[in-house]
Chain A
Amino acid sequence: MLKTERMTRVLVMGTMDAIRETVDYLYGTQSFHVVDFKRDEVHDIGTPLAEANEASAKLLKMMSVSSSLDVEEPSTPQKVPVDKIRRELDAALTHMELEISAEMHARKGIEDLLSQKKAMLASISPFCELDFRLDLLTHLTSVAVLSGRLRGNPEGDLKAITDAYGMFNSQDITVVLIGKEHAEPAMKALSARGFAEVKIPQLDEVPADAMGRLNREITELEAKLAEVEGRLGKLKTANSQFITAALENLTIEANKAEAPLRFGTARFTFLIDAWVPTRQMETLRKGLAGIRSGAVDMVPIAAEEGEDSPPILMDNPKAARPMQMLLEMFSLPSYNEIDPALFMFVTFPLFYGLMLGDIGYGVVILILVLSGGLTKLMNRLGMSGGAPGLNKILLYCSISSIIFGFLFDEIFGFEILGHYFSFTLFDIHFPVHRGETEMVAPMLILCVWIGIGHLMLGYIAGFRNVWVQHGLKHAILEKGGWCLILVGLTLFAFSAMPRLISGEGIQFNDPQAIAGIALLGTGVAMAFAVEGINTLLELPGLSGNLLSYTRIYAIGLSSIGIALAFNENLAMPAIESGGFGIIIGVAVLIGGHALNLALGIIGPLIQTLRLHYVEFFTKFYKGGGIKFNPLRYVRKHTKEV
Chain B
Amino acid sequence: MVLLEGAGAVAMAAAAVIGLAALATAWAEKEIGSAAVGAMAENDKIFGKALILMVIPETIIIFGFLIALLIVGKV
Q: Report which A residues bind B (CB closer than 8 A).
A: 329-331, 437, 440-441, 444, 501, 544, 547-548, 550-551, 554, 606-607, 609-610, 613-614
Contacts and interface: CB of A to CB of B under 8 A. Distances in A.
B59 A544 contact: yes
A441 B75 contact: yes
Interface in B41-74: 47-49, 51-52, 55-56, 58-59, 62-63, 65-66, 69-70, 73-74
B47 to A, nearest CB: 6
A441 B73 CA distance: 9
A613 B58 CA distance: 13
Given A330-B49, A444-B66, A551 B58 contact: yes
Given A440-B69, A544-B59, A547-B62, A610 B52 contact: yes
A363 to B, nearest CB: 28
Contacts of B70: 501
User: Main SS of chain B's interface residues?
Assistant: helix
A609 B51 contact: yes
Given A329-B48, A606-B55, A614-B55, A547 B66 contact: yes
A444 B69 contact: yes
A501 B74 contact: yes
Nearest to A606: B55
A554 B60 CA distance: 13
A501 B73 CA distance: 11
Nearest to B55: A610
Contact of A614 (B56, B66, B75): B56
A550 B60 CA distance: 12
Interface residues of B, number: 18
Given A329-B47, A330-B48, A614-B55, 16 more contacts: A329-B51, A330-B49, A331-B49, A444-B75, A501-B70, A547-B62, A548-B59, A548-B62, A554-B62, A554-B65, A609-B51, A610-B52, A610-B58, A613-B51, A613-B52, A614-B56
Contacts, number: 49
Interface of B: 47-49, 51-52, 55-56, 58-59, 62-63, 65-66, 69-70, 73-75
A437 B74 CA distance: 11
B28 to A, nearest CB: 14
Contacts of B48: 329-331, 613
Contacts of A613: 48, 51-52
B63 A547 contact: yes
A638 B12 CA distance: 69
A444 B66 CA distance: 9
Q: What 7 A-B pairs are tightest by C-beta distance, nearest first?
A: A330-B48, A441-B75, A610-B55, A329-B48, A613-B52, A551-B62, A554-B65
B75 A501 contact: yes
B56 to A, nearest CB: 6
A609 B56 CA distance: 12
A514 B73 CA distance: 29
A437 B69 CA distance: 10
